[in-house]
Amino acid sequence: MDRFIRHDHERLDGYSETRLARIWRIQEFVHWMMDLVNTPGLGTPAAPFLHRVQMARLERVIASPSYGAAFLEDYIGYW
């Protein structure tokens, strides 16, 4: 509205840069979540290691109140 009411283009001109940080944070969370819920490296030599990493992440979400809260904030978009 600033652009039309006050002829101020500053907020609109900076919108992409302002939103880019949030977009990358969402991308990082989606990548992390996909690694958490999908079968890692099935049939590869790395599968046992990747599975343990996956389980460690899940255990951390469950066991740590602060980590769990951060997970929920990212999951529901509260930031």
Q: Could you give the 3-state DSSP secondary structure of residue 7?
A: coil
Residue with tokens 């996909």: 34
Distance CA 43, CA 64 (A): 31
Question: Is 36 in contact with 54 (CB distance < 8 Å)?
Answer: yes
For residue range 29-73, list pLDDT tens digits in order: 999 999 999 988 889 999 999 999 999 999 999 999 999 999 999
Would you say the pTM of this structure is higher than 0.85?
no
Into how many domains does the chain fold? 1
What is the extent of the structural domain holding 37? 2-76
Q: Could you give the 3-state DSSP secondary structure of residue 46?
A: coil
The pLDDT value recorded for residue 48 is 93
Residue spans of alpha helices (H) in the chain: 2-5, 10-13, 15-37, 47-63, 65-76
